[in-house]
A and B are shown apart, each in its own frame.
Chain A
């Protein structure tokens, strides 16, 4: 169990997580470099992780922490796939700019 006296107002975590999430989202939307976009995704995932852990603490419920582990595992897998995609992209087009590949155009 989590001790009572160490509880911090969860609002701080929410604000911090919001800032982290926004930075991540902006990085994904505005940067052309695929690696930076991937980092932005990571940042967003970790913002949500932070909230999971913070609320787990304030609600005294460990299931939030368990979910945070899940997210980490998923994030690790996602990084593997993402980096692999980026390498393949680079091999075929000699660039990792996200604006370059237009094959998805409908």
Chain B
């Protein structure tokens, strides 16, 4: 299957083209074409992994075609098939296919369902191009492609103006990160002489630390934009305007983790730039607390999950920022998170489906008996994200917390403390979501009849729930996943954390239990008010995303607008003014001269005569003045 890896990208891309160009005649069966295309990618993924497992050399570079043959600058398009990219290929293929199937039912009745599936396929193709590319330049093409698909899908219901502006916000904030990637590409060209992974990694050890730090920081900026990390996280909450399957696939499981992929892939660059790597870890630690705090206060079920995604990606960034020792766990958590968060989002979609598109958790409650499948599947996802043994999150997140405690000086205590605290907060806000939705008394609005969704929706949820429950354990047995990733992340000698591992584990579990207990008392035992009560300043701040939007407005938006207004004013008054004045002057002069052109032939003749007489008179006077006669 290795030789047809390109099919994983080509199938969804071709399907997207057919769906977009095919017109209404595809409305009846077009979505099944999209499902088939995504399934193709998943099957290719499985085949490629099987091939890779049977080889001893587990990094295969495939040349596709010469892309930019420009003298000294030669860029070829190729695929890099190694354990890291295949892990992503499988995640995107499997989760993507499940979400495609779910969407067939979820989007039923939407007049633009065919377009929706075209965009979804476009996303799958771009995401696979991003992870399979063998150069930063080709990766950038996929990077922009997923950005485009994300924009199109967030604004899928763009007849609703707030949804359209949410799409714009996501696009603009992502653009800031993209500038980082472009600058990183430029720095690689200038200082490392190459943009393909092999070339960059070969010359990275000889480059100066300053150059590598600059590249690392630009890559971090790119990762912050795409992965919604502090300070560019503001778009992800609003991105929930898109249909719920989109939130599950793009804004939870796959696209937003592209930043983590970028950092881990660029490991050799960061190996020479410890400062940049430390900053990655700090950004991750800040973000994981930031997302958790915001998640504790939100009442919109999808926004809680979005905040949770920000926080969990913070964990991955923290792990990636710890260097080779954390790379494998970052990807491990990324994969398990992809499963349980997609499952949680699909569960949320199922709840919204049954509750008539209600998203306010204060109007849910008591759904456990009415939506049993959703209750159980979301319950498994909930246990997984909490890190309760033996579910997935326990194996991935707890290892990140452990690794964060490795090091010297203040660093392990600060990073590890943040990770530990984040686990407690996560337990609280996820339990709050779970209890508010499924337990306590029903607080539904009138005329609502909660019901379970059809099999097309529940089956993907069940599969994802099984994945969230079991995947961590499967990957953790004999450290199989870490060993599998070793060709990319490198072999790491074991170091002991500053605290003993059992102590960290106990602390984590105690904090998680505490979080669950608090949430259970407040949201399952005590009655939940149907409208948000007046709260303390801290809660109000968290409800407003810790004022990140206001900060952005004051720091970036207003100065930008002022600058733009000044430029527009200068353009209108100075530049255009000069041009217009010249034009008006010419017109005025023309108006004066125009009166002479009255169309009377005899007056023209008179003017000629007068002219000749005047010229002759001047000539005669000049000749006389010279004394020629």
Contacts and interface: CB of A to CB of B under 8 A. Distances in A.
Interface of A: 25, 28-30, 32, 37, 98-99, 101-106
A30 B606 CA distance: 9
B594 A99 contact: no
B599 A103 contact: yes
Nearest to B600: A99
A106 B597 contact: yes
Contact of A102 (B596, B600, B606): B600
B602 A104 contact: no
Interface of B: 593-594, 596-602, 604-606, 609
Contact of A105 (B593, B597, B602): B597
A96 to B, nearest CB: 12
Contacts of B596: 106
15 contacts: A25-B609, A28-B602, A29-B602, A29-B606, A29-B609, A32-B602, A37-B602, A98-B601, A101-B599, A101-B601, A102-B599, A102-B600, A103-B599, A104-B604, A106-B599
- Closest 3 interchain pairs by CB? A106-B597, A105-B599, A102-B599
Nearest to B590: A106
The SS class assigned to the A binding surface is loop
B598 A29 contact: no
A104 B597 contact: yes
A29 B604 CA distance: 9
Contact of A106 (B594, B601, B605): B594
Nearest to A41: B605
Nearest to A98: B601
A86 to B, nearest CB: 12
Nearest to B606: A29
Given A101-B599, A102-B598, A104-B599, 10 more contacts: A25-B609, A28-B605, A29-B602, A37-B602, A98-B602, A102-B599, A104-B601, A104-B604, A106-B594, A106-B599
A103 B598 CA distance: 9
Nearest to B609: A25
A54 to B, nearest CB: 19
A81 B95 CA distance: 90
B609 A105 contact: no
Nearest to A100: B601
Contacts of A32: 602
Contacts of B593: 106
A98 B604 CA distance: 11
A105 to B, nearest CB: 3
Contacts of A29: 602, 605-606, 609
A90 B379 CA distance: 102
Contacts of B609: 25, 29
Contacts of A105: 597-599
Contacts of B594: 106
Nearest to A99: B600
A72 B602 CA distance: 24
A102 B594 CA distance: 14
Nearest to A40: B605
Contacts of A103: 599
Task: Point out which of B601, B602, B604, B605 has the most chain A C-beta atoms below 10 A from its C-beta.
Answer: B601
A37 B601 CA distance: 11
A100 to B, nearest CB: 9
A8 B141 CA distance: 99
Contacts of B602: 28-30, 32, 37, 98-99
Contacts of A106: 593-594, 596-599
A29 B609 CA distance: 9
A32 to B, nearest CB: 8
Contacts of A99: 600-602
A28 to B, nearest CB: 5
B168 to A, nearest CB: 52
